[in-house]
Amino acid sequence: MVQGSHGGYGTAVLTNKDQNIKILRSRALSFLRRPEGPDDHDAYVFIEDAGLALQGGRIAGFGEFGEISKRFDGEITDHRPYLLLPGLIDPHIHFVQMQVVASYAANLLEWLNKYTFVEEQRFADPLHGELVAREFFDTLIRHGTTSAVAYCSVHKASAEVFFAEAQRRNMLMIGGKCLMDRNCPKALQDTAKSGYDDTRTLIEKWHGRGRARYAITPRFAITSSPGQLETVTALLREFPDCYMQTHLSENVGEIAFTRELYPGHQDYLAVYEHYEMLGKKSLFGHAIHLSERELAAMAQSGSVAVSCPTSNLFLGSGLFDHDRVMGSGARMAVATDIGGGTSFSMLKTMDEFYKIQQLNGNRLDPFMAFYHMTLGNARALSLEKNIGTLEAGSDGDIVVLDAGATPEAALKMQRVESLGEELFLLQTLGDDRAVVETYVAGRAMKGNISKSGV
């Protein structure tokens, strides 16, 4: 079965027998742009018998296997009949909340105070951070996630261990130390000055080092004084190439408290606008309860609304409206938000995102869902030249998925007749068991986790 445009794309250098070339043979899917509907086959490339050549950590060629195997000579790994895709991207996750997952709370603010602000204090100890960092990246790899945007704790050391472990695995990771100087335990507070100084030091050390990128990370308006947000303005002016991540309009109690703390602003987003925090590299987690004005301001500034469906259901925060946000012209992404979120799996995350859209009266087609997990999230990070597609020249971050990985999924697979149905099955029943292999910068990583701890 061949759907969509095919035959590969990009030009690659013809190379004679080279030990450094690896060829993956598989069924393969890669998006070219956002699909306009389930029948928009021009939005993607699907190849039933594809070849993907990897060299120097990058994709050197992608196309029909017959053509790739003529152009490149390297060891072949045959992943047929599985489905090869660009590695999945998680644009909002708290690395320091692995042990907060499944904490029983009435709502966001209770959950933060009762569990999250307690757990994050452990990251004052870099040894604890190192242990969790290893678990964190092992877990991402097991779930087929090759890039993520992470919140570390307030401690500079937590960002150090995060970036060091990502570098050891050569993963493209974005992260930052939280800035928070009020409305949380003293042990989790920095000051406007120390937060600024630590952020600056971390940016100078890590931003652009190998595959690392820095996100300036004011946690949210509730935990930052106006004085601290002024330092965020300064940092963003000094380092315009860095990302900015924060939380926005997740929960009604949070919105009410923010408005009390910042009474002079017309709405929640206006606080962040005042401190010049909007822009093309600005990621606003949740962004559920936005007014028309706020959405228009997001769209106009190129800011990204990052939806976190499992978290929003778990904490009872609200239902993000995909079609409303897309219709407004705002950029958007979908993420796990571990540990408010309940799964590391982008497949399960999309399953819940789909159900939320059902409740909103919208249908999310599986091509749109897989677009979001790959090219869509890469675009939201302005990284589509590096990740999110199988185009020659992209980084060699790849996931191989088996839609029939469990007995019940295999049984349902017997009824699957199209690529769309296969994707929908992967999204609905899939999790880490569906991930056959995860390649990071051209290296197979999933099979190595248990053997060597990578």
Q: Taking the complex as a whole, how short is the minimal distance between the CB of residue 250 and Zn ion, in angstroms? A: 8
Residue 87 binds: one of ligand GUN, Zn ion, none (C-beta under 5 to 8 A by kind): none
3-state secondary structure (DSSP) of residue 95: helix
In the DSSP assignment, the letter for residue 38 is T
Which entry of ligand GUN, Zn ion, none binds 219, CB below 5 to 8 A by partner kind? ligand GUN
Name the pairing type of β-strands 178-179 and 173-176: unpaired
Pick from 108, 171, 221, 419 the residue near ligand GUN by CB under 6 A.
Answer: 108
Stretch that binds Zn ion, among 51-59, 278-286, 293-301, 438-446 (CB under 5 A): 278-286
Residue 285 binds Zn ion (CB under 5 A): yes
Q: How far is the CB of 246 from ligand GUN (least distance, A)?
A: 8
- Contact segment (CB under 5 A) with Zn ion among 38-46, 62-70, 103-111, 282-290 equals 282-290
Nearest one of 322, 435, 414, 405 to 368, comparing CA atoms: 322
Binding status of residue 371 toward ligand GUN by CB under 6 A? no
Cα–Cα distance, 212 to 222 (Å, whole number):
28
A 10 A CB-CB count for 37 gives 10
For Zn ion, the binding residues in 314-343 under the rule CB under 5 A are 337
Among 311, 328, 336, 389, binds ligand GUN (CB under 6 A): 311
Instruction: Scan for tokens 């703390």, then name that residue.
Output: 261
Q: How far is the CB of 200 from ligand GUN (least distance, A)?
A: 22
Residue found by looking up tokens 């652009």 in the block: 208
Q: Specify the residue, 94 or 348, whose C-beta has the smaller distance to Zn ion.
A: 94
> Which residue(s) pair with 304 in the sheet?
283, 331
121 binds, among ligand GUN, Zn ion, none (CB under 5 to 8 A by kind): none
Least separation in angstroms between CB 153 and Zn ion: 13
217 binds, among Zn ion, ligand GUN, none (CB under 5 to 8 A by kind): none
Shortest Cβ 350–ligand GUN spacing (Å): 18
Pick from 137, 106, 132: nearest CA to 119: 132
Q: Tell me the site size for Zn ion, rule CB under 5 A.
A: 2
**Number of residues assigned to the chain:** 454
340 binds ligand GUN (CB under 6 A): yes
375 vs 380, beta carbon nearer ligand GUN = 380
Stretch that binds ligand GUN, among 108-116, 233-241, 323-331, 410-418 (CB under 6 A): 108-116
Name the minimum Å distance from CB 321 to Zn ion.
Answer: 19
- Tell me whether residue 301 or residue 342 sits nearer to ligand GUN (CB atom): 342
CB of 189 to ligand GUN, least distance (A): 14
Tokens representing 200? 């600056």
From Zn ion, ligand GUN, none, which one binds at residue 228 (CB under 5 to 8 Å depending on kind)? none
Cα 240–Cα 246–Cα 249 angle in degrees, nearest 5:
135
Binding to ligand GUN (CB under 6 A) within 207-266 occurs at: 219-220, 247, 250
> How many of the other CB atoms lie within 10 Å of CB of 109?
18
Distance of CA 82 to the CA centre of its chain: 23
Q: Is 348 in the site for ligand GUN (CB under 6 A)?
A: no
Partner whose footprint covers residue 108, from ligand GUN, Zn ion, none (CB < 5 to 8 Å by kind): ligand GUN
Q: At closest approach, how far in Å is the CB of 101 from ligand GUN? A: 11
Residue 318, Ramachandran bin (φ over 0: left; ψ between -120 and 50: alpha; else beta): left
The nearer residue to ligand GUN, 221 or 399, going by C-beta atoms, is: 221
Binding-site size, ligand GUN (CB under 6 A): 11
Query: Which 3 state secondary structure label does DSSP give 179?
Result: strand
The CB-based long-range contact list for 221-224 (8 Å cut-off, 24+ gap) reads 221/246, 221/258, 221/261, 221/262, 221/268, 221/271, 221/272, 222/183, 222/254, 222/257, 222/258, 222/261, 223/178, 223/180, 223/181, 223/182, 223/183, 223/184, 224/179, 224/180, 224/181, 224/182
**Strands 213-218 and 173-176, sheet pairing:** parallel
Residue 94 or 446: which CB sits closer to Zn ion? 94
Q: How far is the CB of 324 from Zn ion (least distance, A)?
A: 21
Q: How far apart are the first and last CA of the chain?
A: 37
And the tokens for 226?
Answer: 């106006």
Residues near ligand GUN, by CB under 6 A: 94, 108, 112, 116, 219-220, 247, 250, 311, 337, 340
